[in-house]
Amino acid sequence: MDYEFVFKKGEHKGKTVEWVQDNYPDYMIWVEECKPELLEDEEEKNLDKPKYEEPELDKPESAIKPNLDFYNEK
């Protein structure tokens, strides 16, 4: 366990695992058994998730295009 890890959320947000272990050992037991995700880094979680990819859209040849000559005639 990384004792220098800082809680990002929860009751002890902003405190290190070492501090919480020394002051609230029962909380650490609860976290390990019931909420281990509190001990995970947010960046590591995001690596596991697939990234959203923009779908490729077909560009039809018959798409309506603006008539730029119309604006130039004025």
- Residue 27 is predicted with a pLDDT of 95
Number of domains into which the chain is organized: 1
Confidence band, pLDDT 50/70/90 cuts, at residue 64:
confident
pTM of the predicted protein model = 0.55
Q: pLDDT at residue 43 above 70?
A: no
In a domain, 56, yes or no: no
Residue 73 lies in a domain: no
| 29 in any annotated domain | yes
Q: Which residues of 19-37 are buried (b: 16+ CB within 10 A; e: fewer)?
A: ebeeeeeebbeebeeeeee
> Is 40 within the bounds of a domain?
yes
- On whether residue 18 sits in a domain, the answer given is yes
CB 20 within 8 A of CB 27: yes
Average pLDDT over the chain reads 80
Asked if the structure places residue 53 within a domain, the reply is no
Domain span at residue 41? Answer: 1-47
